[in-house]
Every structure is written in structure tokens, then in C-alpha cells.
Amino acid sequence: MMQRAELGKRTGALHSRHLRDVRPDFPALNQQVHGKPLTYLDSAATSLKPRAVIDAVASVYAADCGNIHRAVHTLSERATERYEGARARIARGIGAARPEEVVFTRGATEGINLVAASFLPSIAKPGDEVLLTSWEHHANIVPWQQAAARLGLHLRVARLPIDRAPVAEDVLSHVTDKTCFVAFTELSNVFGVGLPAQEILQALNARGVASLVDGCQGVVHRSVDVSALGADFYVFSGHKLYGPTGIGVLYGRYERLAAMAPYQTGGDMIETVSFEASTFAPPPSRFEAGTPHIAGAIGLAAAFDYLEAHAAEHTLSEALTRDFEDALAAEEGLALLGPRPAHTGIFPFVCPWGHALDIATFLDLEGVAVRVGHHCAQPLMAELGVTSTLRVSLGIYSAPSDLSRFLTALRSVRQRLA
């Protein structure tokens, strides 16, 4: 077991290397929960928001509250400029070749559904196969199930190991001559362990197999360059990346997007409308029917700016992962699940001495927020032989004090439930 003195020495050294304490930037941390200082360890579910993002969203409604692409008055023009500026900022941040490859969605879930509904029918024929992995979030399973049922396709699953990090062959060995599409997570939201995405995609591209990468966790913990990565599609949600809820991004190679039919129809995605027929705008407008989440897109761009300005602090916060992992692995009465080391700040675990829901409830009474449940990954939970786990996940604002508070609270809960 790691000695407390050693842990304190390591975490103390880590904190002293911080270029800047970013915690004051996050207003949500300046509160107490049940009379205790908030210890927020649920960033993989949704991250807290920095003041810069909150202010960016508020400024839209306070000063630039006009609809986009629809008027020539000043508020509309300013809102349009900021909205399209956000698209360009995010395209640059993820390495897209052009802003038009960025489609704003309500989140990663809508992006996946869009591809399943608009792209898959254009390449699949009855009897073809769609390949997923056993580590997928429900959002990267159910849309493909539904699409396969509609189109007469077969859904295949690459069973990834639960005791080591996956290698490319764990996925590629399941690709057949009938495989028309592969969708997989870049980084597991359960384990915090990544797949060798670029190696997998290079092989798929060589075989002419289309692909989608769920980047919800990857975009938070990895440097993303979608052009170099090689995926046809890449999705992520803003709320996990310190941005607003209800906004996400579907990146698509422009030639793929240009060949796709609309996903939803209505205002702002058309070129012409008559009662006889309609014609549609080119991407990305084609896939953004109706008034979009203007403030959300602008807030997400502000999150990209914030992370770029605090790249050193973000990178340094990842080093705290090692301290958490060592401490959790050494903690008596706690069993970490999945491959190790995790390399990111996501840790699922069970405690034989208590039900996960009870433990999470009592941790909340100590001011400690963790995730409990199946993490929208029921097939993986079944493979692990559990129905529910606890999960600790870190963010840019996580600090060594969070670890000590968590361990103190967990030990207190154990004594209460013993």
C-alpha cells in the first residue's frame, strides 16, 4: 500500500508545479454541499464550466440576441458573425480542413443518429455488416441497431479485452468483406482507456470501410487532429469539454457530408422552397434545420479558447491521474475495474462492503460528487459481471485535495455502512 507520506509528497510536488490554480475560474466550485466543500469527481459525465464560457453565453443573450442568417439588423449580423466564427474556431481546434466540415448538433448522440440516418443508407445494402466494439456507450449502439433493422444489416461486435489496453487487431480481426461501416469509441467512458484509433482508421481506409469515432472522452484527454486521424466522421459533446449543454459537433469529411441527404428539414437548411419541390443548402447548413443553439456554439468556442490558454494546466492536471490511480488501487475494500494504467482520469470501482448507490448517496452527504450506475454501457457491465459501479473522473480543476477528501469521505462511509 502506498504510504500516506509518499502520496502527500507526490501530490504536494504536483501542486507546486502548477503554473496557475484554475479552480477560481469555476464558480460551481465555490459552494458547499450538505455543509461540506464541494469535491467534484464526475467530470466524465459533465464538466463544470469556467467563467469565460458562462460569460460568453450570457453575452449572447445580453447583447447579441438576434437570429442568425435571417436579417440585416445589427443584432442578427453580430450573432451570425459570432456563430460562424465559433464554427471556424472549433474547426481549427480539431484540425478540420475547413469550417464547413463542422456541423453543430445537440450533442454527440444527435451526431451519431445523423450519420446513421443520412449516411449509412447511402453505402449499405441488405446483408452488409456494421461493426461496433463491446466498450461502446449506448449512444454508439442503439442508433446502429435501429439503422441495421431498417436496412436489413447485421450488427457485429468486436469483444475488447477487459484486462489490458486494446490493440488494433482486436477490432480489425472482426472486419470482413461484408463490413460497410465501423463505429468505435476513441476512449472508454467506463475505463478511461483508449483505443489505437489512428492505426485502426488507417487500416479501414485502406480497405475502403467508412468509419465514425465517438470522441466524447477523447477530445477532452487527447490532442485531436481529425484530418490526420483519418475518420470519416468524429463526434463529441460540448458539456464534457467545459462547454454548454445541448451543443455538440459532428465533424465529417466534406465530400461525405456533401453526398448525404438532409437529416431534418425546415428553416435555414434550404435553398429554395415551392409547393412542388425544395432544394437544400450545402453542408453544414443542410444539417442545421431551424434556429440552432447559437449561444451554445459560441460558448463551446469559448471553451476551446479557455483550454488553449490553459494548455499547461490541462496537461499538468492529467498527471494527477497517477496519484488517484495509485491511491485507489491501494485503498482497502475498493476494487478498480478494467485495464491499468488508465492514462486518463476515469476510474470505475466497486466496494464489496456496500451497494454502489448507497455509497454514492452517502458520499454526496460528505460533499463528494461521483457517478454511480451502468454509465450508459450495460453490455460492458454485463461482461464485467456487475450491474452498477462507482466512477471517479477528474477535470482541469481537480486538485490533490480532492483525493484526500474523497478517501476521507469513503472511509467514513465504509464505517457507517459496516
What average pLDDT does range 209-231 have in this prediction?
A: 96
Closest by CA to 297, choosing from 115, 148, 125, 93, is 93
Q: pLDDT tens, 41-83?
A: 999 999 999 999 999 999 999 999 999 998 999 999 999 999 9
Residues with Cβ within 8 Å of residue 294, at least 6 apart in sequence:
60, 67, 68, 79, 82, 83
Quickly state the pLDDT bin for 3 (edges 50, 70, 90): very low
CA distance 291 to 271: 16
What average pLDDT does range 322-330 have in this prediction?
A: 94
The number of helices, as runs of H, and strands, as runs of E, in the chain is 16, 17
Contact yes or no for 410/370 (Cβ under 8 A): no
* Sequence ranges of the domains in the chain: 4-49+310-417, 64-308
Contacts for 262-266 with beta carbons within 8 Å, 24 or more apart? 262/118, 262/286, 262/287, 262/289, 263/113, 263/114, 263/117, 263/118, 263/287, 263/289, 264/289, 264/290, 265/289, 266/290
Q: What is the pLDDT of residue 7?
A: 35
What average pLDDT does range 200-211 have in this prediction?
A: 98
- β-sheet bridge partners, residue 154: 129
CA dist 63 → 4, 80, 372 (Å): 52, 13, 40
Q: What is the pLDDT of residue 242?
A: 98
Question: What's the DSSP call for residue 178?
Answer: T
**Confidence check: pLDDT of 388 > 60:** yes
Q: pLDDT tens, 355-386?
A: 999 999 999 999 999 999 999 999 999 999 99
Tell me which fold the domain 64-308 belongs to. Aspartate Aminotransferase; domain 2 (3.40.640)
Q: Which CATH superfamily is domain 4-49+310-417 in?
A: Aspartate Aminotransferase, domain 1 (3.90.1150.10)
In which residue are the cell numbers 469539454 written?
241
Q: Tell me if residue 65 is catalytic.
A: no
What average pLDDT does range 83-88 have in this prediction?
A: 98
**Cell numbers found for residue 90:** 472549433
Q: What is the pLDDT of residue 9?
A: 39
Q: Which of these is catalytic: 180, 216, 351, 376?
A: 376
**Confidence check: pLDDT of 18 > 90:** no
Three-state DSSP at 106 gives coil
Quickly state the pLDDT bin for 13 (edges 50, 70, 90): very low
For helices 142-151 and 108-118, what crossing angle results, to 10°?
10
**Cell numbers found for residue 325:** 490511480
Q: pLDDT tens, 173-192?
A: 999 999 999 999 999 999 99
Q: What is the pLDDT of residue 318?
A: 64
pTM of the entire predicted model: 0.94
Share of the chain above pLDDT 70, in %: 94
Contact yes or no for 89/99 (Cβ under 8 A): no
